[in-house]
Structures are given as structure tokens and as C-alpha cells.
Amino acid sequence: MALYSEKVMDHFRNPRNVGVIEDADGVGEVGNAKCGDIMKMYLKIDDDIITDVKFETFGCGSAIASSSMATELIKGKPVDEALQLTNKAVAEALDGLPDYKMHCSVLAEEAIKNALDDYHSKQASKKE
Ligand code: FES
């Protein structure tokens, strides 16, 4: 059996939503100290709906595929739903990752949560 699913290879070779959103409403950056990979997520949010999302990942193929899939899973979704996204759901949507590559999908979950935290703190400071 191939180590990586076709979906992983597809999202690795043709990642969706790569890039930067200059006027993002939320930005999240995370890294994994062991492998040194870094992931950054940018969110555009209108009325609590994620209208656009882009990512930059300096990392392994599984991290790139996970970021790409994660952006597809949250685009167009309400903020509350995006907060529920787990790394397991990302890995499942990719038709699985090898056990020792599951941490790559954790980066995607964490980057989105960080970006949503950033969004919420910006919203809170606007209200002050
Ligand atoms: Fe670290 Fe993939 S090896 S994110």
C-alpha cells in the first residue's frame, strides 16, 4: 500500500488557498519545535462567516496537504463550526495520514484556532 493517499498527494502537489490575506481579520502562526515546521493561517471573516482563508506552510508534505485540506474544510463556514475542526477530521478528509505524520495535521488545527483567537481578541478590542 502507498504510504500516502491520493488525496494527500493531490493537496501536496496542488495546494488550495496558498498565500497571504493582507487585511486579514485573524492571523494564526504555529510551529512544531521537533521538526521545525511552521504554518501560518489568514482568515477573512464577515458576520461570523469565514469568507476567505489562505495559508503559508514552511514544512513537510503532510503539513502542506493538511493546511490545504483544512482551508477547504473551513471556507464558507461559521466561526463556531471552524473552532470545532479537529486534526482527526483533517486527516480523515485526506483519507488518512501515517501515524508518525499525525502531528502535521495538529499544526493545521492549531493554526486555525490561533487565527480565530486573534479574530476574537481583535473584535473585543474594537468594542472597547
Ligand atoms: Fe513536522 Fe510534518 S514533519 S509538520
Relative to the CA of 61, which ligand 1 atom is closest?
2
Distance CA 93, CA 69 (A): 7
Dist. CA 61 → ligand 1 center (Å): 8
CATH number, span 6-122 = 3.90.1010.10
> pTM of the prediction?
0.95
Q: Quote the pLDDT of residue 119.
A: 98
Q: Quote the pLDDT of residue 127.
A: 78
39 CB within 6 A, ligand 1: no
Q: Please tell me the residue having the least CA distance from ligand 1 atom 4.
A: 104
- Residue from 125, 117, 4, 8 nearest 64 by CA: 8
**Residue ranges of the domains in the chain?**
6-122
Q: Quote the pLDDT of residue 50.
A: 98
3-class DSSP state of 40:
strand
Q: Quote the pLDDT of residue 1.
A: 56
Dist. CA 35 → ligand 1 center (Å): 6
Q: In tens digits, what is the pLDDT along the chain, a chain of 128 residues?
A: 589 999 999 999 999 999 999 999 999 999 999 999 999 999 999 999 999 999 999 999 999 999 999 999 999 999 999 999 999 999 999 999 999 999 999 999 999 999 999 999 999 888 77
Dist. CA 62 → ligand 1 center (Å): 7
31 CB within 6 A, ligand 1: no
59 CB within 6 A, ligand 1: yes
Q: Please tell me the residue having the least CA distance from ligand 1 atom 1.
A: 35
DSSP character string of 90-111: HHHHTT---GGGHHHHHHHHHH
Strand ranges for the chain from DSSP E: 26-31, 38-46, 49-58
Question: What is the CB neighbour count within 10 angstroms for residue 8?
Answer: 26
Q: Is 60 a catalytic residue?
A: no
